[in-house]
Every structure is written in C-alpha cells, then in structure tokens.
Structure 1
Amino acid sequence: MTYSQLTSSELLGIRTLGELKRAGYQSKSIKQELRDNLITRIRNKDNVFPGIWGYEETVIPDVERAILSMHNINFLGLRGQAKTRIARMMINLLDEYIPYIEGSELHDDPLNPLSRAAHDALAEYRDDTPVAWLHRDERYTEKLATPDVSVADLIGDVDPIKAASLRLPYSDERVIHFGLIPRSHRGIFVINELPDLQARIQVALFNILQEGDIQIRGFKLRLPLDIQFVFTANPEDYTNRGSIVTPLKDRIESQIVTHYPKTIETGKKITEQEAVVKTEQKGLVKVNELAKTLIEQIAFEARESEYVDSKSGVSARLTISAYESLLSTAERRALINNETSTYIRVSDLYGVVSAICGKVELVYEGEVEGPVIVAQNLIGKAIRTQFLNFFPDPEKSKKSKINPYAKVIEWFGAGNQMEMLGDMTDREYSARLKTIDGLDDFVDMLSAYASAEEKLFMMEFALHGMAEFSLIGKQSLDQGMKFQDLVSSMFSGPGEDDDDYDFDDDDDDNNGRKPF
C-alpha cells in the first residue's frame, strides 16, 4: 500500500521519519497540493466551492484557473462579495493531514527542513526524528490589514527575551521570533483589505512573493517559504484609504474581480442560506416568495440609487440582515397579540429600515435626506418594481378605457381613509383590507388560486403599489401607514366599474405575469 492510499488513522500512526520514508512519503509544495486535489475534484464533477452562488460562470472558473496555474491570488471587489469566504474554502483542497517535524514552530517538512531547530533535530535523531501531523484546518492564517500592522507582526523580529533566556547573541538566528507569514509555512495565508497595509509594509512582501524568502533585521537568513498567498482588496480603497503598490501588484499573478448577484433568484439563494432563522420563528411566521423577492429587490434598488455611494457597494449582508429583521417584525407582532401563528405582511418591510440604514454608505444628497428616509425610499422603489410583475401597469391603465384600479380609487376619492397599523391582529388586518370596495375582487381576479392569507398579502401589496404609482396617497405614521385620496389633478378621472374589467385588453395585457 502506498502513502497516498493510507487512511487517516494509518497516517496518524506513523510517528518517526523512518516510518514515513518506508510508507513512501514524498514532499509536495502547497500549490502543487492544491492543484492536484483540484484536478481530482474537477474530474469527479465535485462542487469545489459549495454554497457560493452566482459565481458559477465567472469567479469560480477564474479561481480554478489560478490554482491550476499555481498562482497567488488577489480578489478585487466591493464589500460583501464572498472574497474571504472563497479564500477560507480553499482549505478543502488541501490534504487532510501532512507530516511535520514534531516541535518545529514552522511545521517543517521532514524531507525538506527549513528552520534551524528542524535541522538540529534531524542531525541528532536521523530516522528516529519524531513526526507529528497537521490537519488542514490548522494550515489557514488570516490577517486583516490595518495601519498599525508592522513588519515584525508579518515577518518577525529579534526577541530579546529569547536571546537572554538562551544566552545567545543577537547575531544568532535562534533569537528570531517569527511573524505570521513564516508561521504559515506550508499553509494558506490571507491578507484582507490589502490597500490598508502601509506601503512600507507592502514592500516587505516583495521577496516573499518573488523569491520565497524573508529578511529580518539584516540577518543573512534565507527561508524558502512554501505559502499560498491570497489577498482581498476593495476598489474603493485605491482612492480613499490607500493603494496596492505597483511592484506588489506585479508579483500577484492572478487578480480576480468579484461581483454582486446578477439576479433576484441568486440573491434569494444566498440570503436563504446565510440568514439565521430561529426555530420558534419557523413555526410562528409564514413567509411567501414575494416577500423574499422584495427583500432582494431592495438591495438591487440600493445599488442603483442616486443616494447610495456606488463605490462603497451594497453588501449581501444587507439582504441577510433585512430578512432576519422581517421575520422578527412579524414575530414581534404575533407575540404582542398572543397569536400562535402569523402571515408576513407588506407593511412588515418597513420594520427592516434599521437593518438597511447601517448597510449603505450615503452620498451627500442621501445624507441630506437622512438614512431612514433613504431606506423607506428604497423599500418603496422595490415595491414599485415588483408590482409590475403581478398587476397591470398603472400608467397604461390610466389611458385605458377600462381602468382596473378605478373602484379602489373611487373608494378613496369618496373621502375614505385606511390606517394599516403594524401591530394589528390578523383579524383586524383582514377586516380593514376587506373594507376597501373593489380591492377584494380586483386581487381575486389576479390571484384566484391563492390561499386566504396570500390573498390578504396581495391586497395590501396592491395598496402599496398603487401608492407608489400615485393612484392613491400614502402617509407614514409612527405605528404604520395611512392610505388616502390624492387630489384630482394628480391622476386621470375614474374609470369604468370593475364589473367590466378586461385584463386581456391590449393596453392592459396581463399575459405572462408571475403567479403569486
């Protein structure tokens, strides 16, 4: 049986260099190890990066090409684009265990020793040199680049305490205290937000990346380190906080540009996977697909908003936090009303404002408006965008001979108002929506097969959508929303009675609209 065919328990049973040699162990660089294991995974049709959605045809192929090329990698992208997550998942491409000389702080390869301690152990014990095993999870090191990071932190420095305790002069390499990078020998080393690293510290990485060695305070010391480097950077950093010095960029062989989800469905997969939904919430709150879609649409609207700084980006953490807040908003209402279950409401979306405010960086105009108003504006735009996927276009309906919204508009035009308070009981919520003439029948025509709870959701969705298209008025209250009439100059005259609605009219074509 060859070394590669040994099970984990059999490997862990090997305790000396002699036993390791007899098993047929051969040294392999970490980049070769990543390459070999990736080739096996690709041939077996395995998903190399499970749970990374939206990158299947873009980022993931670039990462695989970089690993096959045995390149160091720089992930360039805005915040919340899974850069660090992909780097962390690269450990799954490492062997489960690798041997190292027991006691060596750099986890020296028994057949290719690096440190003075490892050489001394081999000289003394030869084939009886003790061997230990390092799990793949221990071969990953991550450092966030901050302005206070020093060369000593990353590379190392002379340790006067070690020199004194060992009674060695400062010229002896044994007095060196190695930094994070040498200690990552035979592993993956990640520096997040590389541009935040001071230029003089970036310069210290030149030799490591190009020649694979380090220099510490003038020591004539060459350590051919074996490391897979991964860097992450935000394009915003290049202009606001710092930059990657040109010679360092030149030494990083592959730069991979990440991006946000390109479709609502991809965003929903990410949110559903990452959101923390409590066990009690699963049994208490019922959520439909449209509510999940609206949460994702908020992020899409934020990325296009004139109030939000596009250079900063809108992280996927916005939708994750917003979805968690959406469920908590409904849960809180049910708890207040002592209800054993509740169905999500459109008005619950306004309970996620606090989750939105901290996730977007506003430009000057947005700061003038205020983060809460901007968040409410984004929710309104999300409703407006998705409204057209379920209801006739209000702009076309205004010009049509038969206006499907006419009866609802007439009800508000008669001076009626409707307050939709956030903490209403389910019974009161239903009663208030059904009070509005024509709303029930109108929604029933579009969602004939919906459940009673889904239908109520769509009735409220119709009200919010009509308000966004200025068919009726909407006013924010401390406890919810109030729907009312708009002055007659803001909309065309009332249409025909809803008994004559024709959703197949050329101007109000409803074909192809999404089922609820």
Structure 2
Amino acid sequence: MANQPLPTNHSAHITTLGQLKKSGYKSRTVKAELRENLIRKLRLKEDVFPGIFGYEETVIPELQRAILAGHHINLLGLRGQAKTRIARLLINLLDEYMPVVAGSELNDDPLQPLSVFAKNLIAEHGDDTPVTWMHRDDRYTEKLATPDVSVADLIGDADPIKAATLKLPYSDERVIHFGLIPRAHRGIFVINELPDLQARIQVSLFNILQEGDIQIRGFKVRLPLDIQFVFTANPEDYTNRGSIVTPLKDRIDAQIITHYPKSIEIGKRITKQEARIKDEQRGMVTSNEVIHDLVEQVAVEARGSEFVDAKSGVSARLTISAYEQVIAGAERRALVNGEANTYVRLGDFISAVPAITGKVELVYEGEQEGAGIVAEKLMGKAIRTLFLQYFPDPDKSKKLKNRPSPYKAIQEWFGNGNTLDLLHDASTEDYKKALDQVPGLRDIVTELHPNETSEHTYFLMEFLLHGLSEHSLISRNRLTAGAQFKDLLSSMFTMPTFGEDEDDEDEEEKPRRRR
C-alpha cells in the first residue's frame, strides 16, 4: 500500500481533492498505519519507544505484538510505571501528516468522508473540495477518567443552541455536538485510569470498540469511527474505587502488564532522564553515583517495607523528586554560604524527606509511626544496604578475634565523650573541618578508595559515619539543622527531653529537638 504524500515546509502542495486523487494517495486505517510504520522501524532497527528503559524484553515486545495484530490496548500497572508515556509515544508511529477535508470537525478523510458536513461539501465542490493537512501531534487525544465524565463528554449529545441557530429539528444529525471520541477519528484516543470511569459510561464504549460506531440518544446515526484505543489502569483501583466492567474488558484485545525497574541501574537511567535539573544547578552542584544509588535504593526499600502498602506501589516519581531535592538542597547551601559551587553531601540526601513522605501510601503500622519517621527509616535502610558496597561489614569485623575492627579508632573517639555536629548549611570549610576531627575516618576512606578526589573523599567520610550509625557502632541523632554523632552507649543516658536546647557549633544558642 502506497504511503501518503507528505507536504513540505509544513504547507501542502496538495490543496484540493482532485490533486489528492492524482497523487495516488490511498486511504488506510489508523491500525494499518501504526502497523506499517512499526514494521518499517523494526526493519531499520530504529528505537520505537525512546526513553523507555527496563521494558526491552517485557512490555515493549508485547506492545509491538499488539500493534502488529491491530489490537486495542490496556496498559495495566501500578503508578509511576510509564503507562501514559508509552501511550504518548505511539504518536511516533503515525504518518507525519494526514489529509483532511478542510473545516470538518471529525477529521474526515477526503476519499472516505464520514460527517454530513464533509459529504455535503464534496457533493457541492467535487474535486475542488479544499484539503488541509493535519500533523500527527494533533491526532492524539487523552482523557483522564473521573467520576464526573459523562456520555456527552465522550460520545456527544444534541445541542439545542445549534438547533436553534441553524433552525433545525432535533431529528437532524447536524444538531449533534460530537464528544471527544468522534473528534479523535483517524487518531489515537487514550483513557487514563479506566476503572475510575463509571460503569454506565464504560458501557457506552462497547459498540465503539466492537463495531466502530456510536449511539447518541434517539438519533439514527452510524459513524464507522477509525480509532486506536489505548487504556491505562491501576490494579489497585479495582478494589478501591471501581473496576473495568467485564464486557468492556472482553472487548479490549490486549492487556499488557507493566512493572517497576528490575535493577538500580535501570532506575538510575530513568531518574537521570526525568529529573529536571537546571543548567545553573549543574554548574553549581557536583553530584556522584553514590547519591544516585542511594536515591534508587530508597524506592527499593519502600517497595519491600512493612510500613508501605505494597498494593499501592512506589512510583518512579519518588526517586525523581528526591534527586531533584538533593540537588536543590546542595544549591541552597552554596547560595547561603556565598559559594560559587559545592559538592553534594549525604546530608542533602537525608534532608530530602519531603520528597518521600507524599509518595508512599502507608499501612496502619506506618501511619502509627508517621510519614516523616517512615521516610527516615527508609533512608537509613538504603544507607545500610549500600554501605557494605564501599566499606567492610561492621558485624563481621566484630567477630575477628585476631584483628582489631577497622572502626576501632572512630568508636574510641566517640567513646571518650566527643560529639560531632554536621549541619546542613555548613560551609565547605566548616564541613571539612568537622569531619577531620574524627581520627581514623580519613584513613579508612583513603585506604579503601585511594584514587578519589578530595571532595568525594569527604563525602565518603560522611557516608562512613552514617553507615556506622545504621550498624549501631555509633549513635546519630537528628537535629533540626543537621545530624549529631556521638557514642552509642552515652546517648542512651543523655537523651534530651522535649524542648531541651542544645549548643550550636558557635556561641549562639539555638533550640533543637532530637528525635
């Protein structure tokens, strides 16, 4: 089947029906168009769904098979699994431009007119009927299913104002105001969160999916619509808010199940692609892979946490928002201290709690703990998990009788009554000066990671302290402005009461409450 001619410079040389016929243009359905363009891309080894990671062996092959089969598609998965993004990428499988009868609201094919308007126009002007060209971006329609969506919104209804203006009876098809679906004729129509659509509205989709026609009140109208339907749904919605009615499910040809990234590396690729880091932030803040790993590990810990509702899922938006806040926290610190640039710190990661609290659905036990406490625990578990990739296991070092623990000097320093405050807004000079106080801290890092830059060495020194606290070798108390490290045993006897003030690193007295 010949491909349709494409206009150049965004203005078609073909402007009439007669010119279109002479060009040899042949009409084809949307599904045939998607199929043929997919075949061409596969043969040319082109990336059909750019920017989608982790689905190369699962979702994408299933999606391609559905398109080749000409199926309507339902993408079923938890939140934050790129369902809507995949649907929007289907636009790339449409032809760049498509001929349309000028002025038709149903995107009528000049060779196969559908609406009364287009038929009458062609009958009046013949080969001189004006033809315009529609870009593929305009052939995509998306509707979020909400309880207030009506049949009139999706399908259409009689318009009394149009009837009065045109002086037509209600029995005339020209008084119909078409809804979103008829207006998506010859394009892709997406309904997000399908289970949220009321059952009686879902019923109105039966005929469109099966026979391709619509029914509007008492009108004798049959429009053989040409539409590729894509639905998205969350399995949680099946019990919480609604469900997909069985006859509708039966008419959706392919149900494709999406999933979360199966490795941290895939998650990192997604976060790096989606995080909205501004150019000035990139110039001011230097990041590292450890921070990326920690952010992704938080999502992994959340998906397996007893405090988080597993049925609700943990969206990839959690890691994206958390990383954006990590960078923003480092940027703010540089601005406060008048520094031209800064290196990301583990404290920036700890202070990104607000990006997590709203992204996880808690079970009863989690609600009892509180969203903030749960977020801190998830971060602590992420630190504990990744700590072993960079430093010796503290639990195993305790059992080595012939060799002292590599962390002995650090523990002894805190055991002698010393404390260390690491404040979020501390300048680079004060931050390094504070870490250099702890004997043995730098030695461990440089021995295990000898070729790191000075900035990254200090980052790993801070990481080491947090890791030791997660393994209960030292104590870490959260302060309003940062974190305080001290001996584990002494902290058990010196826990401040609510409202007790603590000395800051300067002479100034600032009230801070430990948790």
Give the aligned partner of residue 477 of structure 1. 479
Give the aligned partner of residue 447 of structure 2. 445
Residue deviations 1:320-370, cap 9 Å, x none? 111110011111111111111111111111221011111111111111111
Q: Distance in 1 between matches of 2:177 and 2:137?
A: 23
Runs of 4+ in 1 over 6 A off after TM superposition: none
SS at match of 1:12: coil
Q: Distance in 2 between matches of 1:20 and 1:358?
A: 55
Q: Which AA in structure 1 matches 2:406?
A: P
Residue deviations 1:195-228, cap 9 Å, x none? 0000000000000000000000021111000000
The answer to whether the aligner puts 1:159 opposite 2:152 as a matched pair is no
| Alpha-carbon distance change, 439 to 10 in structure 1, aligned in 2, over 3 angstroms | closer
- Deviation of 1:10 after TM superposition, in Å, equals 9.2
Q: Distance in 2 between matches of 1:106 and 1:332?
A: 52
- Deviation of 1:405 after TM superposition, in Å, equals 1.3
Give the aligned partner of residue 260 of structure 2. 260
Q: Distance in 2 between matches of 1:193 and 1:68?
A: 25
SS at match of 2:478: strand
Give the aligned partner of residue 233 of structure 2. 233
Conservation of the 8 A alpha-carbon contact between 1:30 and 1:226: yes
Give the aligned partner of residue 434 of structure 2. 432
**Equivalences for 1:245-256 in 2 at 5 Å?**
245-256=245-256
Q: Distance in 2 between matches of 1:124 and 1:83?
A: 45
Structure 2: gaps of 5 or more residues: 493-515
| Alpha-carbon distance change, 49 to 28 in structure 1, aligned in 2, over 3 angstroms | same
Q: Distance in 1 between matches of 2:6 and 2:339?
A: 58
Percent of residue pairs bearing the same amino acid type = 66
Q: Distance in 1 between matches of 2:165 and 2:398?
A: 88
Conservation of the 8 A alpha-carbon contact between 2:7 and 2:97: no
Give the aligned partner of residue 379 of structure 2. 379
Q: Which AA in structure 2 matches 1:47?
A: D
| Alpha-carbon distance change, 396 to 130 in structure 1, aligned in 2, over 3 angstroms | same
Give the aligned partner of residue 509 of structure 1. none
Conservation of the 8 A alpha-carbon contact between 2:4 and 2:26: no
Q: Which AA in structure 1 matches 2:387?
A: F
Q: Distance in 2 between matches of 1:292 and 1:10?
A: 42
The answer to whether the aligner puts 1:328 opposite 2:334 as a matched pair is no
- Deviation of 1:8 after TM superposition, in Å, equals 3.2
The answer to whether the aligner puts 1:178 opposite 2:178 as a matched pair is yes
The answer to whether the aligner puts 1:467 opposite 2:469 as a matched pair is yes
Q: Which AA in structure 2 matches 1:472?
A: I
**Equivalences for 1:187-202 in 2 at 5 Å?**
187-202=187-202
The answer to whether the aligner puts 1:127 opposite 2:127 as a matched pair is yes
What is the TM-score when the length of structure 2 is the normalising length? Answer: 0.93
- Deviation of 1:488 after TM superposition, in Å, equals 9.0
Give the aligned partner of residue 26 of structure 1. 26
| Alpha-carbon distance change, 146 to 422 in structure 1, aligned in 2, over 3 angstroms | same
Give the aligned partner of residue 495 of structure 2. none
Structure 1: gaps of 5 or more residues: 491-516
Q: Which AA in structure 1 matches 2:12?
A: L
Conservation of the 8 A alpha-carbon contact between 1:419 and 1:483: yes
Q: Which AA in structure 2 matches 1:461?
A: F
Conservation of the 8 A alpha-carbon contact between 1:59 and 1:257: yes
Give the aligned partner of residue 36 of structure 1. 36
**Equivalences for 1:269-418 in 2 at 5 Å?**
269-401=269-401, 402=403, 403-418=405-420
Residue deviations 1:110-129, cap 9 Å, x none? 11111111111121112111
**Equivalences for 1:64-75 in 2 at 5 Å?**
64-75=64-75
Conservation of the 8 A alpha-carbon contact between 1:3 and 1:24: no
Q: Distance in 1 between matches of 2:491 and 2:342?
A: 39
- Deviation of 1:487 after TM superposition, in Å, equals 2.2
- Deviation of 1:100 after TM superposition, in Å, equals 1.2
Conservation of the 8 A alpha-carbon contact between 1:303 and 1:313: yes
Residue deviations 1:439-470, cap 9 Å, x none? 11111111111111111111110100010010
Decide which moves more: 182-191 or 387-396: 387-396
Conservation of the 8 A alpha-carbon contact between 2:212 and 2:223: yes
Q: Distance in 2 between matches of 1:433 and 1:293?
A: 23
SS at match of 1:42: helix
Q: Which AA in structure 1 matches 2:483?
A: M
Decide which moves more: 405-414 or 237-246: 405-414
Q: Distance in 2 between matches of 1:3 and 1:278?
A: 41
Q: Distance in 2 between matches of 1:453 and 1:323?
A: 19
Give the aligned partner of residue 90 of structure 1. 90
**Equivalences for 1:98-113 in 2 at 5 Å?**
98-113=98-113
Q: Distance in 1 between matches of 2:110 and 2:398?
A: 80
| Alpha-carbon distance change, 215 to 7 in structure 1, aligned in 2, over 3 angstroms | closer
Q: Distance in 1 between matches of 2:60 and 2:3?
A: 31
- Deviation of 1:173 after TM superposition, in Å, equals 0.7
Q: Which AA in structure 2 matches 1:45?
A: K
- Deviation of 1:416 after TM superposition, in Å, equals 1.2
Q: Which AA in structure 1 matches 2:118?
A: A
Q: Distance in 1 between matches of 2:433 and 2:109?
A: 74
- Deviation of 1:134 after TM superposition, in Å, equals 0.8
| Alpha-carbon distance change, 6 to 85 in structure 1, aligned in 2, over 3 angstroms | closer
- Deviation of 1:432 after TM superposition, in Å, equals 1.2
Give the aligned partner of residue 502 of structure 1. none
- Deviation of 1:3 after TM superposition, in Å, equals 6.0
Residue deviations 1:388-417, cap 9 Å, x none? 111111111111122111111111111111
Conservation of the 8 A alpha-carbon contact between 2:155 and 2:216: yes
Q: Distance in 2 between matches of 1:351 and 1:11?
A: 53
SS at match of 1:142: strand
The answer to whether the aligner puts 1:169 opposite 2:186 as a matched pair is no
SS at match of 2:301: helix
Q: Distance in 2 between matches of 1:246 and 1:291?
A: 46
Conservation of the 8 A alpha-carbon contact between 2:391 and 2:448: yes
Residue deviations 1:273-305, cap 9 Å, x none? 111111221111111111111111111111111
Q: Which AA in structure 1 matches 2:429?
A: R
Q: Distance in 2 between matches of 1:99 and 1:199?
A: 36
